Amino acid sequence: MDILYFLLINFIPAMIIFFGHVFMYKPPKSINFAYGYRTKRSTASKKAWAFAHQVCGALWYKGGIFLAILLNGLFLITVFLLRPYRFDIYYVLFFTPLLFMLGSILYTEHRLKRNEEAL
């Protein structure tokens, strides 16, 4: 059963790393409403679109690697040392990447706002 939780805990960080790499190196060429980092600020201009993908992609790629290391370390500690509390800790491990993703939106929007004049 712990193997299933291990796979589930690593799924979201793996997707964050994948999309971070894609956003950095092969972002969507044109502003669209199907794929990409889409907010009011990021879709305001072509430069803002490219800047948002560069910022968000770098953050997701590096943050995804950090999350994977952190979550796997906490998972191993939980399995071997905190076994009676593992299901409570698994919930925290599941929702941590979601908090990171929300924070990455706030950070990217802050960077877009700060660089609005330059774009």
**pLDDT tens per residue, range 67-82:** 999 999 988 888 888 8
CA distance 26 to 17: 14
Is residue 17 a contact partner of residue 69, using CB atoms and an 8 Å limit? no
Q: What is the mean pLDDT of residues 38-65?
A: 94
- pLDDT, residue 86, reads 78
DSSP string, 59-114: HHHHHHHHHHHHHHHHHHHHHHT-GGGHHHHHHHHHHHHHHHHHHHHHHHHHHHHH
Least-confidence region, from 20-29, 44-53, 58-67, 109-118: 109-118
Q: Is the pLDDT of residue 112 over 90?
A: yes
The pTM (predicted TM-score) of the whole model is 0.86
Contact between 20 and 62 (Cβ < 8 Å): yes
